[in-house]
Amino acid sequence: MNATSPPTTFTRRMVAGNIAALFSGSAVSQGMTALALLLTARQLGVIGYGQYSSSIALASMTAIVFNLGMDIWLLREGAHEPKHLGVYVGSVLSIKAIAGLVWFIVLALISPWLNTITSSNSFPVPLVILSAVVVWLDGVLFTLLTTFKALLRNKYTSIIDATSDFVWVLATAALIGLGVRQAVPYMQARAGVMIGTVAIAGILARRIERFKTDLQVTQRIIKETFPYAASEFLAWTSMRVDILILATISGEEAVGLYAPAVSLANALFLVPAAVYSVILPVLSNLFGSHPRQAWLTAGRSLGLLVLLGAVLSVLLYMGSPLLVALLGSSFGGSLEILRILSGNVFIHSLSFGMAAILVAVNQQARRTLVQAAAVGINVLANLIVIPQFGIQGAAWVYVGTEIVLLAGYSALVFQHWMRSRQST
């Protein structure tokens, strides 16, 4: 048994408390992330930030090689079988360590040829390698934080996230104070902050769970996580492929105008993601024991996400002129992109709620089919639209993709709800 016993039942007070803890932490983290990105973009300028964003986008999309969707699997299975959580976490970390090393070596080897292949200078080798370090550390951190989420101990998650992003802002401000205008030091600072954060999270997680690697569990994880891996890859693709296509077709300057708007809009996803992280283990438990209560809880969660999404979208639209002013005059072209993408926050908030239901009722494979269709539409539309309409076209394609995704998720949830009514 673990040193501390996980909850076996979920009270309304417990759920609300965990949502409040993650929400408050996510609000601070989102604010710090947005500020760090604003400061970095303002200091580096359009071209420098375009290279910075392109490198991160490349590393994030290819990180599926070692992430394999295991954290979503871990969140669900950890809630189902909390007594085995330590073995699950230890096995996931072992997979990420081995697969991550292979991924890093391959990415480092191909990085010198990326600019030749794309006929641009969007992927400087040092930035690509440092981005890989940051993304791998982020993957390890997410697994450690999932330990707290599965046990509904989200105060740890909130404190770690908020503190890490606050230190990141301080490091960014220090580089600006020193007059640094090259992208590499900013990525180095981000990597340094991540190393410290992973170390602290690891120490705290080990105090709650004793990690252990098990070969049979490792084989089971690899076998069962394919739908989650496909889903995670498709999710990252839908949010990042437009940046890579822009980098290839239009170059780093177009990315420099587009990426800050996308990063700021996507940073707001942290807030509905906090609700998702609490609701998923709760629904996973309830659908197995109290299906009727599970649907009531799912409905309340969707109502909360509608409210959050609407408020965040309005705030982003109204605040977009101020955000662009903070970026600087060279980012004037980002204003229209921010306004277009403000609606995405509302749509994506609802998608989080629908996704939580689908994963909880073991419909991940069908969810992945919807994601595959949406990503296929996204890639094809971007290849057609970007040469004609540039960054504005890419923004509208992003919104359209989110609508397709939400429609597909909603249809699957409705079908499952109808079947559950007929069986009762």
Q: What is the DSSP string of 60-110?
A: HHHTHHHHTTHHHHHHHHHHH-GGGHHHHHHHHHHHHHHHHHHHHHHHHHH
158 touches 24 (CB < 8 A):
yes
Give the tokens for residue 110: 């191909």
* Alpha-carbon distance values, 268 to 193, 237, 348 (Å): 21, 18, 10
Cα of 333 vs its chain's centroid, Å: 25
Q: What is the pLDDT of residues 390-409, one digit of tens each?
A: 899 999 999 999 999 999 99
Q: What pLDDT was estimated at residue 127?
A: 92
Q: Which residue has the tokens 């969140």?
A: 75
Q: What is the pLDDT of residues 25-48, one digit of tens each?
A: 666 777 788 788 888 988 988 888
In 3-state terms the chain splits into helix, strand, coil percentages (rounded to 5) of 90, 0, 10
Mean pLDDT of 346-363: 89
Q: What is the band of 15 on the pLDDT scale with cuts at 50, 70, 90?
A: low
244 touches 57 (CB < 8 A):
yes
Mind giving me the DSSP string for 332-397?
TTHHHHHHHHHHHHHHHHHHHHHHHHHHHTT-HHHHHHHHHHHHHHHHHHHHHHHHHHHHHHHHHH
User: What is the chain's mean pLDDT, rounded?
Assistant: 84
Q: What pLDDT was estimated at residue 25?
A: 62
Give the highest mean pLDDT range of 129-138, 218-227, 250-259. 129-138
**Within 10 Å of residue 91's Cβ, how many Cβ atoms?**
25
DSSP 179: T
* Euclidean distance between CA atoms 424 and 419, whole angstroms: 9
Q: What pLDDT was estimated at residue 207?
A: 81
* Euclidean distance between CA atoms 312 and 349, whole angstroms: 10
Residue 20 has pLDDT above 80, yes or no: no
Mean pLDDT of 234-257: 78
Q: What is the band of 372 on the pLDDT scale with cuts at 50, 70, 90?
A: confident
Percent of the chain with pLDDT over 90: 31
* Euclidean distance between CA atoms 316 and 344, whole angstroms: 10
Residue 386 has pLDDT above 70, yes or no: yes
Find, among 135, 146, 160, 167, the residue nearest to 64 by Cα.
135
Q: What pLDDT was estimated at residue 140?
A: 92
Question: Higher confidence at residue 204 or residue 364?
Answer: 204
Q: What pLDDT was estimated at residue 351?
A: 92
With 0-12 / 13-18 / 19 or more C-beta atoms within 10 angstroms meaning exposed / middle / buried, residue 109 is exposed
* Euclidean distance between CA atoms 134 and 166, whole angstroms: 16
Residue 79 has pLDDT above 70, yes or no: no
352 touches 383 (CB < 8 A):
no
* Euclidean distance between CA atoms 85 and 240, whole angstroms: 31
Q: What is the band of 18 on the pLDDT scale with cuts at 50, 70, 90?
A: low
Q: What pLDDT was estimated at residue 2?
A: 47
For the chain, what are the domain ranges?
12-423
252 touches 50 (CB < 8 A):
yes
Residue 6 has pLDDT above 50, yes or no: no
